[in-house]
Amino acid sequence: MRRIFHYLKPYTFLAIISPLLMIGEVFADLCLPKLMTVIVDCGISKSGDVSESALGSTVMRLLFGEGTYSSMQVIITFGVLMLVVVLIGGFFGVACAYTAAKASQSMGRDLRCDAYRSVMSLSIEQTDRFTTGSLVTRMTNDITMIVDFTEMLLRMLVRSPMFFIGGSIMLFSLDLSFSMVMLCALPVLAITLFVVLRRAIPLYSRVQTKLDRVNSVVQENVTGARVIKAYVREDHEGERFRQANGELRDTNYRVQKIMAWMHPVLMVVMNVSIIAIIYLGGWQIENVAGTGMTAGTIMAAITYVTQVLMSLMMVAGMFQSVSRALASVRRVGEVLDAKPVIRSGAVREGKDDVAVSFRQVSFRYPGATGEPVLHNIDLDIRRGETFAVIGATGSGKTSLVNLIPRFYDATEGEVLVDGVPVKKYDLEALRQKISFVMQKSELFSDTIADNIRVGKTDATQEELCRAAQTAQAEEFVSGFSDGYETYIAEKGASLSGGQKQRMSIARALVRKPEILILDDSTSALDLATEAKLRHALKKDLRNTTVIMIAQRIASVREADRIAVIENGTIRDCGSHDELMRCSETYRDIYESQMKNGGEQV
């Protein structure tokens, strides 16, 4: 809640003016019954005799001077007056809506941008923990919920209490006995609201959980459609969905069933109050001399009682949204409060000749238990060196390179780039030095040119073409009718795996990095293309330090040094020839690939 106010601060003026404007609207609404009373009492019942109504006589005197007035005169005068009041009220209402919308939407924009900025500063492990889906809903649904709630708050904060207080005062001014009716009605209503809301509100969060469940089943089915069809598990999935869906329906139904009590109870309370008022009015006329009670007074009292009770209903409605909005505030707050685990240092330039070094590095994924993924890694990679990493599935190859651009931080030990610990670098400066090509290509729904430009925003067409040429992407890109301007839909769903990988490589090359990391990023390329790519890289990147992870011996063979990783430690390290001589593991890998074909060497 404090958070909402914090974000509203820049719009304090609007946020204050808005409820004030609402006072105007409420005032107009409260005036109307008074004016109507005059029409009914003086205009219709007493044929224009306004002497008994203070309001009526004052207005008529001001407009037409002293004297008697015809009934039509009174009705039309007050009719016009009513319309004028309505117009003024309407003006205030629209002005209030405008200011409230402006304040809350501006606040929403700020909140959204801040939350987004916070998301963009999170460390990889944190986005993993939040999960994509939940971050998206927090950024959109939850913030929309907060904005809507704030807007309603600005408009209703004043409206309901004003109606409540204004209506009560008006009622008191009419007759004391009428206000007794209200005093009796209020507790009944309040208790009902309390009981209903207390039961309904916890259920709302249950509904949310059930909905999440339904969503996740759908998500898995859409993304895993192929596997589900291949194993003919549609019925099983259908059953799973029906169950989740059924639970959602039941919970929803339970909430709505509880909420259904609200309206009828209110109606009963309201109508009983109306009956009581009419009866009390009648009784007074009969038994109390000179009460001044009239049919018009009773009518007005009915209107006010209705208003007061309705305003209480509105408050009830607000309670309901308060609980939902608070849940949203909490969820967005978690994003805002998430301080990046990986913090930027200040150093912008290194000084050493050793491009990358690992000093006694051990690593375990955050939150994971068991053996660490990497143990005591000691490694120096010289500038301009081509360094390859090879090893079994799950041996820690990707984890090793993830530490260089600080996607994760080492659990123990230090990683240095250009002689400076990565933790001391300004993150942007550090990552500026590095191009990282992932195992799984991540493309954006954008043109090919813009996807490559991710590497270097201001790259010229020439630079794009060069990078694409080196990455062996030129050929297929120029095959598209729109060339570089071809639009890639749904994260590259229209491209084959190999094409996606080559685009990711082009993107990495266009920024001319000091360090190029290729994380098994040529696995989908056919062998001919990969060989061409390797040669092009060698020619173009003479001063770049290249760190590559690969499965094929052919890919790593030409590297200056090759590290063989096994169970998180570097088993052997050296050139192909050295390893062939002294590393049994390496020879094993070699054998596994060269079997029957090894005679070539």
Partner 1 sequence: MNQNTKSSNQNQLPPLRPGGRSGGPMNSRVNREKPKHAKETLGKLLRYIGKSKTLIILLISIMVLVTVADLAGPALQGAAIDTIRLVDGRVTVDLPAMTRYLALMGVLFVISASLSLVQGIVAAKLSQNTVYMLRNDLFRKISKLPIRYTDTHRHGDIMSRMTNDVENVSNAISQSIASLISSVLTLVGAFSMMLYYGWIMALIACVTIPITITLSSTLAKFMRKYFVDRQKLLGQLNGQVEEMVTSYKTVVAYGKEKQAIEDFAKCSEEYKTCSIRARVWGSIMGPCMNFLGNFQYVLIAAFGGFFVLHPVSFMRTLTIGNIQSMLQYSKKFTRPVNEIANQYASILTALAGAKRIFEIMDSADEVDDGCSELRISEINGNIRFEKIEFAYEKDEPVLKGLDLSVDAGKKIAIVGATGSGKTTIVNLLTRFYELDGGRITVDGVDITQLPKETLRKSIAIVLQDTVLFSDTIRNNIKYGRPDATDEEMKRAAALARADVFIERLPDGYDTVLAESGSNLSQGQRQLLSIARAVLADPKILILDEATSSVDTRTEMHIQQAMVALMRNRTSLIIAHRLSTIRDADQIVVIKNGRVSEAGNHEELLAAGGEYYTLYQNQFAGIST
Q: Pick out residues in 308-347 that bind partner 1 (CB under 8 A).
A: none
b/e map of 501-532 (b: 16 or more CB within 10 Å)? bbbbbbbbbbbbbbbbbbbbbbbbbeeebbee
Nearer to partner 1, 81 or 359 (CB): 81
Nearer to partner 1, 77 or 357 (CB): 77
Nearer to partner 1, 188 or 268 (CB): 268
Please tell me whether residue 419 binds partner 1 under the rule CB under 8 A: no
Size of the site for partner 1 (CB under 8 A): 193
CB of 31 to partner 1, least distance (A): 11
How many angstroms separate the first and last alpha carbons of the chain? 72
User: Among the candidate windows 171-179, 236-244, 308-316, 410-418, which touches partner 1 by CB under 8 A?
Assistant: 236-244
The Cα 114–Cα 136 span in angstroms is 14
Each residue 118-147 as x (binds partner 1 by CB under 8 A) or -, in order, gives -xxxx-x--xx--xxx-xx--xx---x--x
The Cα 445–Cα 447 span in angstroms is 7
569: helix, strand or coil: strand
CB of 80 to partner 1, least distance (A): 8
The Cα 110–Cα 423 span in angstroms is 31
Quick one: CA torsion of 468, 472, 473, 478, rounded to 10 degrees? 90
Among 593, 595, 589, CA closest to 390:
589
Tokens representing 560 are 């200056």
CB of 271 to partner 1, least distance (A): 4
Tell me which of 199, 206, 213, 233 binds partner 1, using CB under 8 A: 233
Tell me which of 57, 177, 323, 523 binds partner 1, using CB under 8 A: 523
Chain positions 210 to 229 lying near partner 1, rule: CB under 8 A, are 211, 214-216, 218-229
CB of 381 to partner 1, least distance (A): 18
Please tell me whether residue 82 binds partner 1 under the rule CB under 8 A: yes
Each residue 254-293 as x (binds partner 1 by CB under 8 A) or -, in order, gives --xx-xxx-xxx-xx--xx-xx--xx-xxx-xx------x
The Cα 335–Cα 339 span in angstroms is 9
Chain positions 36 to 55 lying near partner 1, rule: CB under 8 A, are 36, 39-40, 43-47
Chain positions 561 to 590 lying near partner 1, rule: CB under 8 A, are 588-589
CB of 209 to partner 1, least distance (A): 14
Give bridge partners of residue 421 from the DSSP assignment.
416
Tokens representing 408 are 């994760």
The Cα 111–Cα 146 span in angstroms is 10
Chain positions 483 to 502 lying near partner 1, rule: CB under 8 A, are 485-491, 493-494, 496-499
CB of 436 to partner 1, least distance (A): 4
User: Among the candidate windows 330-338, 377-385, 461-469, 478-486, which touches partner 1 by CB under 8 A?
Assistant: 478-486
The Cα 2–Cα 437 span in angstroms is 43
Please tell me whether residue 13 binds partner 1 under the rule CB under 8 A: no
* Contacts with 199 (C-beta within 8 Å, 6 or more apart), sequence order: 258
Please report, for residues 3, 118, 136, 472, 490, the alpha-carbon distance to residue 339 in angstroms, rounded to integers and kept in the order given: 17, 8, 18, 41, 31
Question: Residue 260 phi/psi, 5° resolution?
Answer: -60, -20
The DSSP string of 126-172 is: HHHHH-HHHHHHIIIIIHHHHHHHHHHHHHHHHHHHHHHHHHHHHHH
Question: Residue 421 phi/psi, 5° resolution?
Answer: -55, 135
CB of 310 to partner 1, least distance (A): 13
CB of 116 to partner 1, least distance (A): 5
Among 527, 492, 489, CA closest to 506:
492
CB of 155 to partner 1, least distance (A): 9
Tell me which of 31, 181, 185, 299 binds partner 1, using CB under 8 A: 299
Chain positions 153 to 182 lying near partner 1, rule: CB under 8 A, are none
Tokens representing 281 are 């009015």
* Contacts with 334 (C-beta within 8 Å, 6 or more apart), sequence order: 138
Tell me which of 436, 484, 506, 573 binds partner 1, using CB under 8 A: 436
Nearer to partner 1, 353 or 485 (CB): 485
Each residue 524-563 as x (binds partner 1 by CB under 8 A) or -, in order, gives xxxxxxxx--x----------------xxxxx-xx-----
Each residue 85-124 as x (binds partner 1 by CB under 8 A) or -, in order, gives -xx-xxx-xx-xxx-xxx--xx-xx--xx--xx-xxxx-x
CB of 478 to partner 1, least distance (A): 14
Nearer to partner 1, 359 or 438 (CB): 438
The Cα 438–Cα 521 span in angstroms is 6
